[in-house]
Amino acid sequence: TKETFDHIKANDDQVKAFLTLDEEGAMKQARAVDEAGISADQLVAGIPLAVKDNILTKGLRTTAASKMLENFNPVYDATVVEKLKQAGYVNVGKTNLDEFAMGSSTENSAFFTTHNPWDLTRVPGGSSGGSAAAVAAGDVLGALGTDTGGSIRMPASFNGIVGMKPTYGRVSRWGIIAFGSSFDQVGWLTRSVKDNAYLTALIAGNDEHDTTSSLKAVPDWAAQLNDSTSIKGLKIAVPKEYYDGLRADVKEVIKAALDHLESLGATVDEVSLPHTHDGVPAYYILASSEASSNLQRYDGIRYGYRAPEAKNLEEVYVKSRSQGFGDEVKRRIMLGTFSLSAGFYDAYFNKAAKVRRLISDDFTKVFKDYDLIVGATGASTAFKIGAEIDDPKTMYMNDVLTVPVNMAGLPAMSLPAGFSAEDGMPVGLQLIGKPFDEQTIYNTGYVFE
Ligand code: GLN
């Protein structure tokens, strides 16, 4: 733990992965492990890990990278944090993100932008950019993230690490600061597939506090990681929509990865997920609608920022929210409120909900004949800081290959497949599985280690 902090102190003034470091708390947790010894159920005893700052940690400031929650100290732990505590982990601190997890670059953080450790002039992706950068910089071997439309997989891809979004319902959302509740899922960003399989099992499972969490038993994914023989006969589908539009340098890396899987005995066929390109517009309506509802709780009264000069109740609401939320969050609240309003509900929210079903049906059809869907995580590599921040539509299009997965609630992982010949940055390969079949994803990813 001490070495971890030495490493962070030497790097983080440049990378800026952390919003809050908890050296005192971490040393205390580490000492407790030293003194008590490791009991059999403490599967990560003494291991320093990090937590995205939209996940509640009791007594440790949790901001969601928003001015609204700048001084918010949770009175309880998220279920995932509680489970990690029981397993003996050491929490190093809280990682930076786009405000309320809305964004693809970490530039929407109200506090500062995180830099990509591979090239400090580039973004680490988002919204779990701080978690990804902390892992890629070698600070910790794993960091928790959340994925509503790609926020674990996309930063994993941009930082050359592994990021898994488990099946919707696999991991409890209790204590996660809600964004789009029917999409949000917690998962790990790690350096290796094996670590990821191991750590995800620790946080998964039913939770009485989250009625959408599944009753299904959690397999010991790490113990069942097979060698490359498990790839023999695996039926892989490559959606042309996940391949055709890629930048040439990204395509080259993805092609090599597919060739590798074929050489190990998988069959690789081209398929179509025809509604892929409807995913981004429909997602931004649905996720923003849910966000507009979820964010109503920040009213300047119950907790969070309150505008000091407000003179009456109306002003408390208006001024606190106007001053407390950043531009992107306001954009989503307005888009969502509009889409849900009586006169426009059918034209926007309802229509987008129908598109969601079509996207989900596309996947179901392909999974009748195939075990796994494979493609790129992003059409490009990490872009320069500042390049897209003033152009929300271009920023949203970064999610074109990740949001369909959240629409359908499927598990999907991004893993490092190689480097771009154009800019030298990492390229991520995305593996998408059937509902609750994280195992096939992990087994396939493992052959790249
Ligand atoms: N980039 C997407 C968005 O801004 C996804 C964010 C996420 O997964 N939390 O909504």
Ligand 1 mutation target, pool 294, 399, 401, most atoms within 8 A of CB: 399
| pLDDT of 38 strictly over 90 | no
**% pLDDT > 90, the chain:** 94
Tell me, what's the pLDDT at 350?
97
- pLDDT band (50, 70, 90) for residue 314: very high
Which burial class, exposed, middle or buried, applies to 166 when counting CB atoms under 10 A from its CB (0-12, 13-18, 19+)? buried
End-to-end CA distance of the chain: 26
Contact at 8 Å (CB) between 88 and 1? Answer: no
Closest listed residue to residue 127, CA positions, set 71, 66, 36: 66
Contact at 8 Å (CB) between 299 and 318? Answer: no
Q: Does domain 2-216 have CATH number 3.90.1300.10?
A: yes
* Residue 215 CA, ligand 1 centroid: distance in Å: 27
pLDDT tens for 351-406 read: 999 999 999 999 999 999 999 999 999 999 999 999 999 999 889 988 999 999 99
Half-sphere exposure (Cβ direction) of 179: Cα atoms closer than 13 Å: 30
Tell me, what's the pLDDT at 39?
85
* Residue 152 CA, ligand 1 centroid: distance in Å: 9
* Residue 444 CA, ligand 1 centroid: distance in Å: 26
Ligand 1 mutation target, pool 95, 105, 131, 151, most atoms within 8 A of CB: 151
ipTM for this model: 0.97
Long-range CB pairs of 354-360, under 8 A, 24+ apart, other chains included: 355/275, 355/278, 355/279, 355/281, 355/282, 356/282, 356/286, 356/407, 358/275, 358/278, 359/273, 359/275, 359/276, 359/278, 359/279, 359/282, 359/404, 359/407, 359/408, 360/407, 360/408, 360/409
* Nearest-angstrom CA–CA distance, 412 and 153: 8
Ligand 1 mutation target, pool 52, 53, 99, 102, most atoms within 8 A of CB: 102
Per domain, the residue ranges of the chain are 2-216
Atom of ligand 1 nearest to the CA of 104: 1
52, 83, 319, 434: which one is catalytic? Answer: 52
**% pLDDT > 70, the chain:** 100
Tell me, what's the pLDDT at 271?
98
Tell me, what's the pLDDT at 275?
97
**179-183, 239-243, 427-431: which range is least confident on average?**
239-243
pLDDT tens for 212-266 read: 999 999 999 999 998 777 899 999 999 999 988 899 999 999 999 999 999 999 9
Residues 6+ apart with CB under 8 A from 72: 61, 62, 63, 303, 304
Atom of ligand 1 nearest to the CA of 180: 9
Atom of ligand 1 nearest to the CA of 146: 9
Distances (CA, A) of 125 to 155, 170, 259, 358: 4, 24, 27, 28
**109 belongs to the catalytic site:** no
SS (H, E, C) 344-403: CCHHHHHHHHHHHHHHHHHHHHHHHHCCEEEEECCCCCCCECCCCCCCHHHHHHCCCCCH
* Residue 127 CA, ligand 1 centroid: distance in Å: 6
**29-38, 275-284, 436-445: which range is least confident on average?**
29-38
* Residue 146 CA, ligand 1 centroid: distance in Å: 9
**What angle (nearest 5°) sits at the alpha carbon of residue 299, between those of residues 293 and 302?**
110
127, 172, 339, 420: which one is catalytic? Answer: 127
* Nearest-angstrom CA–CA distance, 279 and 21: 37
Atom of ligand 1 nearest to the CA of 151: 8
- How much is the average pLDDT of 109-126? 98
**127 belongs to the catalytic site:** yes
- How much is the average pLDDT of 128-134? 98
Atom of ligand 1 nearest to the CA of 406: 8
Tell me, what's the pLDDT at 157?
98
For the entire predicted model, the pTM comes to: 0.97
| pLDDT of 300 strictly over 90 | yes
Tell me, what's the pLDDT at 37?
86
66, 104, 128, 151: which one is catalytic? Answer: 151
The pocket around ligand 1, CB under 6 angstroms, is made up of 101-104, 127, 146-151, 179, 287, 399
- How much is the average pLDDT of 397-420? 96
Mean predicted lDDT score pLDDT of the chain: 96
Give me the residues paired with residue 236 across strands.
268, 372
Atom of ligand 1 nearest to the CA of 284: 10
* Residue 284 CA, ligand 1 centroid: distance in Å: 9
* Residue 224 CA, ligand 1 centroid: distance in Å: 31
Nearest protein Cα to ligand 1, atom 10: 102
